Amino acid sequence: MENSKKGKCPFHHGANTETHNSVMDKWPNALNLDILHQHDTKTNPLGVSFNYAEEFKKLDLEALKNDLKKLMTESQDWWPADWGHYGGLMVRMAWHSAGTYRLADGRGGANTGNQRFAPLNSWPDNVNLDKARRLLWPIKKKYGNKISWADLFILAGNMAYESMGFKTFGFAGGREDIWHPEKDIYWGGEKEWLAKSRYSNSTESESLENPLAAVQMGLIYVNPEGVDGKPDPLKTAKDVRTTFKRMAMNDEETVALTAGGHTIGKAHGNGDASILGSNPEGADLETQGFGWMNPKGKGNAEDTVSSGLEGAWTTTPDKWNHTYFHLLLNYEWELKKSPAGAWQWEPINIKEEDKPLDAHVKGKRRNPMMTDADMAMKIDPEYKKISEKFYKDPKYFEEVFARAWFKLTHRDLGPKSRYLGADAPKVDLIWQDPIPTVDYKLTDSEIEELKTKLLNCGLSRTELINTAWDSARTFRGSDYRGGANGARIRLAPQKDWEGNEPKRLEKVLNKLTEIQNGLSKKVSIADLIVLGGNAAIEKAAQDAGINIKVPFSAGRGDAAQEMTDVESFAVLEPIHDGYRNWLKKDYAVKPEELLLDRTQLLGLTAPEMTALIGGMRVLGTNYSGTKHGVFTDKEGILSNDFFVNITDMNYSWKPVSDNLYNIVDRKSGAIKWTATRVDLVFGSNSVLRSYAEVYAQDDNKEKFVKDFATAWTKVMNADRYDLKK
């Protein structure tokens, strides 16, 4: 960069226009509050009034599907299709869009169309997917706002399969595009692509850093050449099992997806990978977003270099077929090097008729190949059993693959209530976290009557508030799981989670069930939980001299245990909750960072986080009744005392341990209160302090209460998709 400026007129413009010139570069450990304020309306060219669901309803879905099928066989000179069919490329694009999903935090996946942006658009594993997206542009241009890029990627993958003879399980729209890269997703701490540093124990696949779900930076799953690039199918099988499990797939789904994904298309490695041009994000202006340009030969077609492996997996890679298992199981395979120098497996003494035709050279047949992960489907004992079952029963394989492909591409779309379009399957699938619909409505007078019952039932206001919060705090805006709807806090595994204080929870649920049984009209426990919290907050505000109504919308259902996948829900268990000032144990990550992560998943802004923390503290909602951060002499009243006292210079703050502080009167030296890092960050962080000062002002007592109630309602209704359409 510096060299390019030599000989030019010196001029330093006033704006920071390059990312490495961030104003916070000197303080790299500062809290990244930006993750709470991304995807602001200022970045969205469609404006605040744009409603994607309404636009999607105007879409001629059948016409779009037909256009996509037509696209598959319209080979373009600038990027010729393998065997005259773009199916393999489009499936890979859709797969790699969805395949970034990870179960641990729900981040990644197909839901946002983020493959258009860095780092994903330039991942080594996404080589040449820029070409797939550019091939789709004429169709996106034609249908415009009625179809998002995110939805189009997945639909293109479906239509690729269907144009090649496979019937998919269905398609649901509803993925809304983002307009810049996500700032919240931790893709790994490596400073270089494909580094080998995300395991605490290099010999143990389970030691992969949580929540990451790929073995190396820049890969979707595993290294196709083998662990650390060294072929060993048994070792690779361990990595495959770990990574697919972290993406919510079991062994059968893993084998089905591997086989179904590799039934069509080919890998590209006919050339020298070291001479490829820069990735899209690092390429020169004149490339116009194209990356990985090959300067040798045609630069495409038979001279394409993507993964570095070279060849197809099946005999007819442009058609859906059942030759994957036939070739894998019936031939012996040996290690070979591709023209690009990558390790791959090729068959020994293969029949000529089992060889696929060359993708671009007419009449020439080539050896098929398998990656180390493919060989794992044969060498690993459990995977082999499944492979043999699929081989013997192709119809069963097709059914499992269709469902697994649908799960892969829709896992982060959330419950069925968010699905758009006539092609969405009507069946309930357990991984969708189904919730029964309710058929009752509550009048204003009935709601008020219920609130009175709840406040006078013998439960404390704190018990009501904590139960409502614990029920709702599981929500993740990443994959739209969790939340208060369904009242799964009553069921395994949630009822037994340490963070839910099981004894207190059981007491509250028993009382709410007693109230429910005494009602003349059926009301769900889920609604009663939320309404109880709302009623307690209204009373706490009233005691502070401020009358408010916390908005309440009935309509939550109560899920049953058989609708709840215990293993799948286990990942939602909180191991911390800054809002209730709780840590399950000490972690390497600072408590205030954990708070930020939870806040982002809840979809809250920094001011909303601030208001909630301040309110929760004075309401006495701390886990197990601890008094850390309860900066008030009027606990249980919704006052702004937390902010008044944390900004008061009559006090100083003395560390006791890594996560415990005494708040000391400067004059007397007497300990006034105790606090954690999560409390004190609202006085130490300059941005958070600016919000705390607003709420500490004498003229903002009412504003604080109203802002708290608004933020509270946002959390309680986070999973009420019926209210957002």
Residue pLDDT, tens place only, 392-447: 999 999 999 999 999 999 999 999 999 999 999 999 999 999 999 999 999 999 99
Please choose, from the candidates 455, 464, 471, 671, the residue with its C-alpha nearest in 3D space to the C-alpha of residue 559: 471
Chain mean position to CA 691: 29
pLDDT of residue 1: 43
pLDDT of residue 244: 97
Buried b (16+ CB within 10 A) or exposed e, 320-348: bbbbbbebbeebebeeeebebebbbbbbe
pLDDT of residue 4: 53
Q: Which residue shows structure tokens 């963070």?
A: 499
Q: For 551-658, where are the E strands, in sequence order?
A: 576-577, 582-583, 651-657
Please choose, from the candidates 476, 465, 462, 724, the residue with its C-alpha nearest in 3D space to the C-alpha of residue 599: 476
Amino acid letter, residue 335: L
**Low-confidence stretches of the chain (pLDDT beneath 50):** 1-3
What is the phi/psi pair of residue 660, to 5°?
A: -145, 135
Predicted structure pTM score:
0.96
13 is catalytic: no
Which spans in 331-473 are helix H? Answer: 372-379, 381-392, 394-410, 444-455, 461-472
Residue tagged active-site, from 20, 39, 96, 262: 96
Q: Which residues pair with 99 in a beta bridge?
A: none
pLDDT of residue 2: 47
